[in-house]
């Protein structure tokens, strides 16, 4: 390509990105694509000869962009956001240019040392005790699996890694009935098995009942099983339920059970001192995960995993074949031993850019606003005839539904709200997702995109009401 040619093409790409950010609100938030529509526009065979950049970029605009759901659209209120920011994008360009493998200190000393330092920053920002050591993982799913593997090795004194699980008593794991599906997947992958995962019932607000947890652990131990790992969820995905971390940890620690906290989304809110009480008891846990790639303005992927006993944790993963041995082996951190991947991207760079260019106060201000606006909209909906709050606000998430006529049956209301969600998302001005709570179909509303303002939230509410009255006018009654 040559340096000048690259400079020119890169400048065009940056122009495209800047234009995209400027006009992002003109796109439908959710891709209007039908299954197979995009694939049909991509040739079945790769080109044998090089194609010009102009043509590839044109096809990117023509074929790919219309088939994308725009996660950085400020009227994206679905799932949990995977937000990003300009500083993060700039850092990612540099990461792509360096294209370094950050597996060992020697293969990327700066990446290793920056990762350590930036995770110390994060640890302080969310109020975790200093004995926790951090590493960056690709996703919360992977991080959670890693903690389960470390717990498995602790519970079996390394036997599972040495000779497999066949000879040991069955290991058992625990989480709340509201826990994320990645917990059960981890239990399957780690060889523990879904049947050995106890989903502990929750109280009215969705938090795990620690008394039932204690009973289940005692029952399992009494019948010869080995209770090994519990996940406390802070901000479970459905409606943001919070487990009582301190009580879960107190119960679990008596039996030597590894306590993991899944705060994938809610962890970012701990940068606000006024919300730290949600994590009360975190000083007692073994590991804690949250995703800066959800609500900390750092583009996917970037998961922060903190473990209390780094030596024990790394012991579950460390393997040192001759071809990976480097000098300084003992004095440096080799993050290749901190999880599943050998090769690792330089993800600390984008966190460094984000934290420096926003400043901790800049990050706090945005997250605080998201929570305030969520509170404001939830109150408006509560006070509006024909709507009801289904689950109370948890940080910036609440669930609601349309109830135009109190005489409608539960099934009719569910069908109506399902149709309403489809109408809203098909219209493309905003994007919401749903859940079911106690059999009730509910619309979830989450605020967390970087450039969302109160005006976008207000527009969303107008759009919801507009779609609701249209839906009701076209299908009055339960039909």
Ligand X SMILES: *Cc1c(COP(=O)(O)O)cnc(C)c1O
Q: Among 13, 69, 116, 139, which residue interacts with ligand X (rule: CB under 6 A)?
A: 139
Q: Among 72, 196, 303, 417, which residue interacts with ligand X (rule: CB under 6 A)?
A: 303
Closest to 358 in 3D by CA, of 450, 223, 465, 265? 450
Residue 140 binds ligand X (CB under 6 A): yes
Peptide linkage before 470 cis (omega within 30 of 0): no
**d(Cα 325, Cα 145) in Å, to the nearest integer?**
26
CB of 260 to ligand X, least distance (A): 11
Residue 81 binds ligand X (CB under 6 A): no
Give the range of 6-14, 260-268, 395-403, 416-424 binding ligand X by CB under 6 A: 260-268
CB of 180 to ligand X, least distance (A): 3
Q: Which is nearer to ligand X, 118 or 266 (CB)?
A: 266
Q: Which is nearer to ligand X, 265 or 313 (CB)?
A: 265
Q: Which is nearer to ligand X, 30 or 180 (CB)?
A: 180
Whole-Å CA distances, 176 to 179, 183, 207, 209, 391: 5, 10, 7, 8, 17
**d(Cα 21, Cα 11) in Å, to the nearest integer?**
15
Binding mask 159-188 for ligand X (x = CB under 6 A): ---------------------x-x------
Residue 84 binds ligand X (CB under 6 A): no
CB of 374 to ligand X, least distance (A): 16
CB of 397 to ligand X, least distance (A): 10
CB of 265 to ligand X, least distance (A): 4
Q: Which is nearer to ligand X, 105 or 445 (CB)?
A: 445
**d(Cα 286, Cα 132) in Å, to the nearest integer?**
9
Residue 291 binds ligand X (CB under 6 A): yes
- Residue 130 tokens read as 């200093």
Residue 449 binds ligand X (CB under 6 A): no
CB of 455 to ligand X, least distance (A): 27
Residue 80 binds ligand X (CB under 6 A): yes
Residue 29 binds ligand X (CB under 6 A): no
Residue 262 binds ligand X (CB under 6 A): yes
Q: Which is nearer to ligand X, 83 or 291 (CB)?
A: 291
**What is the number of alpha carbons within 13 Å of residue 107 lying toward its C-beta?**
18
Give the range of 54-62, 201-209, 235-243, 306-314 binding ligand X by CB under 6 A: 235-243
**d(Cα 408, Cα 397) in Å, to the nearest integer?**
26
Q: Which is nearer to ligand X, 265 or 402 (CB)?
A: 265
Would you tell me how many other CB atoms lie within 10 Å of the CB of residue 479?
Answer: 9
**d(Cα 266, Cα 278) in Å, to the nearest integer?**
9
Residues 6+ apart with CB under 8 A from 303: 136, 137, 138, 139, 140, 142, 143, 264, 289, 290, 291, 292, 293
Residue 237 binds ligand X (CB under 6 A): yes
**d(Cα 274, Cα 252) in Å, to the nearest integer?**
27
CB of 110 to ligand X, least distance (A): 25
Give the range of 99-107, 138-146, 279-287, 370-378 binding ligand X by CB under 6 A: 138-146
Sign of CA dihedral 56, 58, 64, 68: positive
Q: Which is nearer to ligand X, 267 or 428 (CB)?
A: 267
**d(Cα 302, Cα 47) in Å, to the nearest integer?**
34
CB of 294 to ligand X, least distance (A): 6
- Residue 455 tokens read as 């005006």
Q: Which is nearer to ligand X, 107 or 176 (CB)?
A: 176
**d(Cα 129, Cα 239) in Å, to the nearest integer?**
28
Q: What is the dihedral of CA 233, 234, 235, 240, to 10 degrees?
A: 80
Which residues, numbered 189-228, are part of the site for ligand X (CB under 6 A)?
Answer: none
Give the range of 137-145, 345-353, 378-386, 440-448 binding ligand X by CB under 6 A: 137-145
**d(Cα 269, Cα 221) in Å, to the nearest integer?**
36
CB of 289 to ligand X, least distance (A): 8
343: three-class secondary structure by DSSP:
coil
CB of 262 to ligand X, least distance (A): 5
CB of 469 to ligand X, least distance (A): 32
CB-neighbour burial class of residue 42 (10 A; exposed 0-12, middle 13-18, buried 19+): exposed
Residue 236 binds ligand X (CB under 6 A): yes
CB of 141 to ligand X, least distance (A): 3
Would you tell me how many other CB atoms lie within 10 Å of the CB of residue 137?
Answer: 26
Closest to 257 in 3D by CA, of 154, 170, 168? 154
Q: What is the dihedral of CA 188, 189, 192, 198, to 10 degrees?
A: -40
DSSP state of 39: G
Contacts with ligand X by CB under 6 A lie at 80, 139-141, 180, 182, 233, 235-237, 262, 264-265, 291, 303
């Amino acid at each position: 390509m040559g340096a000048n040619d690259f400079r020119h093409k890169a400048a065009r790409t940056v122009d495209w990105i800047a234009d995209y950010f400027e006009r992002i609100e003109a796109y439908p938030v959710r891709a209007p694509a039908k299954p197979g529509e995009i694939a049909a526009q991509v040739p079945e065979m790769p080109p044998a000869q090089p194609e010009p950049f102009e043509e590839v970029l044109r096809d990117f605009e023509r074929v790919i962009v219309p088939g994308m759901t725009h996660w950085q659209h400020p009227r994206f209120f679905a799932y949990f956001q995977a937000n990003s920011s300009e500083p993060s994008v700039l850092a990612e360009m540099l990461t792509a240019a360096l294209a370094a493998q950050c597996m060992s200190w020697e293969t990327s000393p700066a990446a290793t040392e920056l990762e350590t330092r930036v995770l110390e920053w994060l640890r302080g920002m969310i109020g975790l005790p200093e004995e926790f050591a951090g590493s960056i993982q690709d996703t919360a799913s992977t991080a959670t699996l890693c903690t389960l593997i470390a717990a498995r090795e602790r519970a079996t004194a390394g036997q599972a890694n040495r000779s497999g699980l066949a000879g040991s008593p069955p290991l058992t794991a625990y989480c709340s009935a509201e826990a994320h599906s990645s917990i059960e997947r981890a239990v399957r992958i780690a060889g523990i098995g879904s049947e050995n995962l106890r989903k502990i019932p929750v109280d009215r607000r969705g938090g795990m009942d620690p008394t039932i947890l204690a009973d289940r652990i005692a029952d399992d131990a009494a019948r010869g099983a080995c209770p090994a790992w519990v996940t406390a969820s802070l901000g479970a995905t459905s409606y943001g339920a919070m487990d009582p971390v301190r009580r879960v940890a107190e119960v679990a620690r008596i039996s030597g059970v590894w306590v993991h906290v899944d705060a994938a989304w809610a962890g970012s809110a701990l940068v606000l001192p006024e919300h730290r009480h949600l994590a009360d008891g975190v000083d007692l846990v073994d590991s804690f995960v949250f995703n800066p790639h959800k609500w900390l303005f750092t583009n996917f992927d970037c998961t922060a995993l903190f473990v209390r006993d780094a030596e024990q944790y790394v012991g579950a993963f460390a393997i040192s074949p001759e071809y990976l041995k480097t000098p300084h082996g003992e004095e440096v951190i080799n993050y290749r031993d901190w999880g599943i991947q050998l090769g690792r991207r330089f993800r600390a760079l984008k966190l460094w850019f984000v934290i420096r260019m926003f400043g901790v106060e800049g990050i706090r201000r945005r997250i605080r606003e998201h929570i305030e606006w969520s509170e404001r909209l939830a109150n408006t909906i509560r006070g509006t005839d024909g709507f009801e709050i289904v689950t109370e606000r948890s940080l910036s998430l609440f669930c609601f539904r349309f109830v135009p006529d109190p005489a409608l049956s539960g099934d009719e209301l569910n069908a109506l709200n399902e149709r309403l969600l489809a109408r809203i998302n098909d219209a493309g001005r905003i994007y919401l997702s749903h859940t079911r709570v106690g059999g009730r179909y509910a619309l979830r509303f989450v605020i967390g995109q970087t450039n969302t303002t109160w005006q976008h939230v207000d527009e969303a509410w107008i759009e919801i009401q507009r779609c609701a009255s249209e839906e009701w006018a076209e299908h009055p009654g339960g039909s």
